[in-house]
Structure 1
Amino acid sequence: MPSSRSAIRPRPASNGDDLRGVNRLTIDAITGVTDLVEAMHANISRLPGVLGTVAAGPAPGIAGFVYRSVRGATRLVGDGLDLAFARAAPLLDVVRPPPQREAMVAAANGVLGDHLDASRNPLAIPMRLRHGGQALTLRRRELAAALPDAGGKILVLVHGLCMNDLQWRYGDHDHGAALARDLGYTPLYLHYNSGRHISVNGREFSRLLEQLLQRWPVPVERLAILGHSMGGLVARSACVAAQQERLDWLAHLDRMIFLGTPHQGAPLERAGSWIDAMIGLSPYTAPFARLGKIRSAGIQDLRHGNVRDEDWEDADADGRADGRQPSPLPPGVRSYAVAASTASAARDDAAVLPKGDGLVPVASALGRHPDRAYDLRMPKTRQHIAYGVNHLELLGDAGVYRQLLRWLG
């Protein structure tokens, strides 16, 4: 059944909630450092070999009592501040949050979003469809009032890691607004916590689209999704969830376009995972591996482009699930991919792919894989390489927009 959370009238950003969220993160950080120091203390006190077994449990004797006391006092102070900020919220909310707040909260969600969500931190971003920076209430009457010019062609734009819906405006250009002007689409922007697992976001996005199409104020002619970076993986995951739950919205999906999406993974996240494994080899450095694992579940999913629960639930030490099955694109949906390359022009040897955009290799962005089972098999006519463009410039590049016009027109 579709989630009922989006049917609740969205609450605006609150300075009081922001302070409570920062306070809780601070308390979590202090207790986390205390845990790390205690783990080091426990390992050193037992004098293991350099590559010995990591000690389990708290530090022994009086030291363990001290660490427990520090954690208890920290949580007590944190709870008191949380209560004080909650009572002061009406006074704090007289001042509107600064415009930079959206970007800062989105970045925090990208790095720590799974923790924010699990700890019910007020900074955790709830998934919403937004238009003009305002959250939409998915009821037919409210949609008609908020979108008086709503048409039958819907375009949903899905942002990437550590970003938000407002950042689709790059300079003076917004792909969604431009496609509304030139092709008559009604653009909606997904706003979500990019630190959660991609499959968790994909499942919630799928149910949100089901609600949207059921309550759209005019007959739906066409649905298209435009995803940037991680947003493309969230869109693919939503399609997988719709197939599993037999939701109707997928039958309306006509086209998906991916801008710099790491379909086959991102090398930088793989490097981070390798460093984690090396640090964890020795009991003397193993506690520091916790710092590397601060990377959110969403970031870790980028290692191999995970789009389903089973891709990460049974992952082995390399991050790839044992026996993981390919996740093809949904049948009947025209899918297109744009890869960015910082190279200034195409090479004479067309068989050699150019370097990527600094974050995503060209082959990964185009869905290509040496194992044909994992290759997304998009026709060459539905692939495009944007030269002299970096990962973020895909949002505002004129050549990329011309390609969008051809594919969506």
Structure 2
Amino acid sequence: MPPPSTPRPRKPAASVPPVDGATAANANPLRQLRASDLRGVARLAAQATTGISRVAEGVHQSVLGTLGLPGGDQPGRTRGLTGLVYQSIRGVTQLVDAGLQAGLARLEPFFAPATPSDAVHWEREAVIAALNGVMGDRLQRDGNPLCTQMGWYQHGLPLDLRALAAPGAATGKLLVLVHGLCMNDLQWLRHGHDHGAHLAEVLGYTPVYLRYNTGQHTSTNGAELSALLASLVASWPVPVTELSILAHSMGGLVARSACHHAAQAPAGSGGWLPRLRHLVFLGTPHHGAPLERAGHWVDVLLGSTAYSRPFARLAQLRSAGITDLRYGHVLDTDWQGRDRFRKSPDQRTPVPLPSAVACHAVAATLAARRSPVGERLVGDGLVPLHSALGIHDDPERTLGFAKPRQAVFYRLGHLDLLADAGVARQLQEWMQA
């Protein structure tokens, strides 16, 4: 038994989470709310009211336009008394929002948390993660308190490096896990299995989980991840002898972007990259995902007529992170200066895999065996097989994973990659080499 003064790694106050990171059936979600959540929800409600008024005004003006009546000084705006009514609605909404934000901010110190400060709020974090994935760029831009800030976590709590300094609490083998779109660090636990915990047990890694706003551009998250990795390696309690990254889905694009930023950094500032030994991708859409392209076609179709054009605003609520999945953006130049909702060809700058790093790709398909249709269209339900394996019709864009570092799993879905026993065995085989 260590002396009382010795710090120990924190464990969540909540009991071990049930399967898939969900709370028990009798949990009360309202007890997981924070006072700042009320401000965030109020801000979203105000923005929704403003957005609906703009859609309604756009439809109104479309009808008036068919009658030959002029509109306002901006496209989709009405004029005269009608325009004044819509402007008044938006003005009053902004005033109400400002009042609520100020009032709730003053009241926050008087609201005691309903649960212990070190409790892990599984349901709340899942909702926040999904919200950030869908509109996290907007939350960041508006300073909404519901916006997720990038950081390191263990057991669902912020990483405590002081606790890891205790004898035996950390090893020199550091494993960083990067989750995918609309997810968080807690959701690496699925069906009772966590790849990070498994690799810690069998290979002696110390797992550290990244939590981040998946609604931001992948390149933005990549730059921030690179800086955080440099700080983490520098402040790790014991010398880092081996660094490995395990990334799921979008997390793989963020990890590749981080490697690129580190490689481009001035000498000495990207010191974590030379320590990187393994980079493992689970179902990463290296060359995009069809579902985002389908969303892009919704933009095109809604914008094709005057009557449906106002509703294109609704389709364009999806985040920058989601639209980056159309082709698998990794760099700032892949999206800067371009309208991300406009139809355009793949204009990415090819980014190779990091050199001197063992890069591995795990892909899944719902099909029972490989076939042209299954490889290009079906995939794991979200990511086609070719995209997950980095294969592209343009040889310059093909990532070129070595054959022994590719693995394909059949009759397996995108999220099943997080819990499949065969995938776990493959990770162990690769990472113990």
Per the TM superposition, whether the score is higher than 0.5 is yes
Say yes or no: does 1:116 pair with 2:135.
Answer: no
| Pairing partner for 1:144 from 148, 162, 165 | 165
Deviations 1:239-264 (A, max 9, x none): 11112223111111111000000001
Number of the residue aligned with 2:350: 326
Q: Which residue of 2 aligns with 1:85?
A: 104
Matching residue of 1:288: 311
Q: 1:233 aligns with which of 246, 253, 261?
A: 253
Residue in structure 1 matched with residue 180 of structure 2 by the alignment:
160
SS at match of 2:412: coil
Q: Kindly provide the amino acid, as one letter, of the partner of residue 192 in structure 1.
A: Y
Give 1:46 shift. 2.8
CA-to-aligned-CA distance 1:344-379 (integer Å, 9 cap, x gap)? 3x35x7998484111111111111111110000001
- In the alignment, which residue of structure 2 is the partner of 1:193? 213
> Are the counterparts in 2 of residues 313 and 321 from structure 1 also a CA contact under 8 Å?
no
- Tell me the distance in 2 between the aligned counterparts of 1:352 and 1:211: 42
Equivalent in the alignment of 1:202: 222
1-side partners of 2:405 and 2:285: how far apart? 16
> 1:178 — aligned with what?
198
Tell me how far apart the structure 1 counterparts of residues 320 and 112 of structure 2 sit (CA, whole Å): 32
In structure 1, distance between residues paired with 2:257 and 2:343: 21
Q: Distance in 1 between matches of 2:81 and 2:374?
A: 63
Q: Does residue 336 of structure 2 align to residue 313 of structure 1?
A: yes
Q: Return the alpha-carbon distance in structure 2 between the equivalents of residues 105 and 357 of structure 1.
A: 25
C-alpha spacing 1:371/1:30, structure 2 compared with 1 (3 Å): same
- Tell me how far 1:205 sits from its aligned partner: 0.5
Q: 2: distance between equivalents of 1:366 and 1:239?
A: 18
Q: CA deviation at 1:383?
A: 0.5
- Report the residue type matching 1:252 in the other structure: R
1:10 matched to which residue of 2?
none
- 1:393 equivalenced with 2:430 (yes/no): no
> What amino acid maps onto 1:333 in structure 2?
V
Report SS of the residue matched to 2:183. coil
- Fraction of identical pairs, as percent: 51
The C-alpha deviation readout for 1:250-288, integer Å capped at 9, x for no partner, is 111111000000001000110110120121122221111
Do the aligned residues in 2 keep the contact of 1:42 with 1:55 (CA within 8 Å)?
Answer: no
More displaced stretch, 275-284 vs 249-258: 275-284
SS at match of 1:389: coil
* Correspondence for 2:53: 34
Task: Give the secondary-structure state (helix, strand or coil) at the position aligned to 1:122.
Answer: coil
User: Which residue in the other structure is 2:233 paired with?
Assistant: 213
Matched residue, 1:44: 63
Other structure's SS at 2:66 match: coil
5+ unaligned residues in a row in structure 2: which ranges? 1-31
Moved more, 183-192 or 81-90: 81-90
* Partner SS state of residue 109, structure 1: helix
What is the distance in 2 between the residues matched to 1:128 and 1:351?
39
Secondary structure at the counterpart of residue 401 of structure 2: coil
Q: How does 1:364-379 map to 2 (within 5 A)?
A: 364-379=387-402
Alpha-carbon distance in structure 1 between the residues aligned to 2:168 and 2:314: 49
Amino acid at match of 2:40: G
How far, CA to CA, are the matches of 2:37 and 2:46 in structure 1? 14
**What does the per-residue CA deviation read over 1:303-336, in whole Å, with 9 as the maximum and x for residues that have no partner?**
10001111111447334464x3211111111100
Query: Which stretch has the larger CA shift, 225-234 or 274-283?
Result: 274-283
Q: Distance in 1 between matches of 2:67 and 2:265?
A: 51
Q: Normalising by the residue count of structure 1, what TM-score does the alignment of the two structures yield? A: 0.89
* Contact persistence 2:40–2:146 (CA under 8 A): yes
Q: Whole-Å Cα distance in 1 between the matches of residues 420 and 216 of structure 2? A: 29
Q: How far did 1:55 drift?
A: 6.1
Task: State the AA in 2 paired with 1:309.
Answer: D
Letter in 2 for 1:393: D
CA contact (8 A) 1:232 1:259 kept: yes
- TM normalised by structure 2 equals 0.85
Q: CA deviation at 1:67?
A: 1.0
1:15 maps onto 2:30 in alignment: no
Q: Give the Å deviation of 1:124.
A: 0.2
Structure 1 residue 296, shift from structure 2 partner: 0.6
In structure 1, distance between residues paired with 2:277 and 2:373? 31
| CA 1:166–1:351: 2 relative to 1, 3 Å | closer
Measure, in 2, the Cα distance between the counterparts of 1:78 and 1:286: 28
Match of residue 64 from structure 1: 83
Partners of 1:308 and 1:167 in 2: how far apart?
A: 27
| 2:277 and 2:358 in contact (8 A); partners too | yes
Q: CA deviation at 1:174?
A: 0.5
Stretch moving more, 107-116 or 283-292: 283-292
Give the Cα–Cα distance (whole angstroms) in 2 for the partners of residues 68 and 401 of structure 1.
57
How much has 1:36 moved relative to structure 2? 1.6
